[in-house]
Amino acid sequence: MIRFFQHLGHSTTSSFAKLGRSFFFLTHTLTASVSVIPRPRLLINQLYSVGVLSFLIITISGLFVGMVLGLQGFYILSDFGAEETLGVMVAASLVRELGPVVAALLFAGRAGSALTAEIGLMKATEQLSGMEMMAIDPLKRIIAPRFLAGFIAMPLLAALFSSVGVLGGHMVGVGMLGVDDGAYWSQMQAGLDFQDDIINGIIKSIVFGFAVSWISLFEGYDAIPTSEGVSRATTRTVVNSAFTILGLDFILTALMFGDI
């Protein structure tokens, strides 16, 4: 019994300590981010590995998610004779929820885990320590550009996901199932609002990009510098990112769409 309380107490204090470290890390990263501005090359390198390399998985997934939405939506809506509203259904689900959320989950799996592993290995091979001894702040040189890149790439990737998804829904709905082309687009435009839907969707993806970049970089930076430690940190990045994305999504949705 005492063991149990000991264990509970230990894990409580250690998780609070970790939370504290992560906030400390975040504030340092944010201040360090300023120093990236005069050196765009660092940012471009990272946009490449975070953004360009995630491009394919995001667009292909977006296309298939859109196609599935088109197919499923069509069967359900046709029961009510409301196939014409397929466009709204596909676009609203993508822009409000699936675009930001699924893109962020894929981003965490593709780019986030890679970031954690990269930073963790840099720590394990003393590269971070070596930079500190060369009087180069690894937060400025290594962490901040990656953080900014994630923060910038995420909304773009989510927008790509949603857009490609809407086209995928069009391909299936209009191209294969015979929904009227004009109705698909006009119902969509009438049903979705720029402010309420598009902007809120973009805000979501910005928040998710911030969260995933933060989690994955911190897990790498805080990893135990052994191969086992790095692999655990990578797993934690994916798991914690997924929880955080879904939790934040609920909170944001409640704030944005549910007049709270």
Binding site residues, other proteins, CB under 8 A:
44-45, 47-48, 51-52, 55, 82, 91, 95, 121-122, 125-127, 129-137, 141, 153, 155-157, 159-160, 162-164, 166, 185, 188-190, 192-194, 196-198, 201-202
Is residue 59 classed as helix, strand or coil in its secondary structure? helix
Write the CB contacts of 67 (distance below 8 Å, at least 6 apart in sequence): 168, 169, 171, 172
In this complex, which beta carbon is closest to other proteins, that of residue 8 or of residue 134? 134
In this complex, which beta carbon is closest to other proteins, that of residue 51 or of residue 112? 51
Look at the chain and count its residues.
260
Q: Closest separation between CB of residue 236 and other proteins, Å? A: 23
In this complex, which beta carbon is closest to other proteins, that of residue 205 or of residue 240? 205
> CB count, 10 Å around CB of 12?
10
In this complex, which beta carbon is closest to other proteins, that of residue 22 or of residue 163? 163
Q: Residue 71 corresponds to which tokens in the numbers above? A: 């197919």
How far does Cα 255 stand from its chain's mean position? Answer: 19
In this complex, which beta carbon is closest to other proteins, that of residue 42 or of residue 238? 42
Q: Closest separation between CB of residue 234 and other proteins, Å? A: 17
Is residue 178 classed as helix, strand or coil in its secondary structure? coil
Q: Closest separation between CB of residue 91 and other proteins, Å? A: 5
> CB count, 10 Å around CB of 68?
15
Q: How many CA atoms lie within 13 A of 123 on its CB side?
A: 24
Q: Closest separation between CB of residue 92 and other proteins, Å? A: 9
In the chain, what is the straight-line distance between the N-terminal and C-terminal CA atoms, in Å?
A: 43
**Cα–Cα dist 54/153, whole Å:** 9
C-beta separation of 122 from 142 below 8 A: yes
Q: Closest separation between CB of residue 222 and other proteins, Å? A: 16
> CB count, 10 Å around CB of 187?
21
In this complex, which beta carbon is closest to other proteins, that of residue 92 or of residue 245? 92
In this complex, which beta carbon is closest to other proteins, that of residue 37 or of residue 239? 37
**Cα–Cα dist 94/200, whole Å:** 12
Q: Closest separation between CB of residue 172 and other proteins, Å? A: 17
Residue 74's φ and ψ, nearest 5 degrees, are: -60, -45
Q: Closest separation between CB of residue 125 and other proteins, Å? A: 5
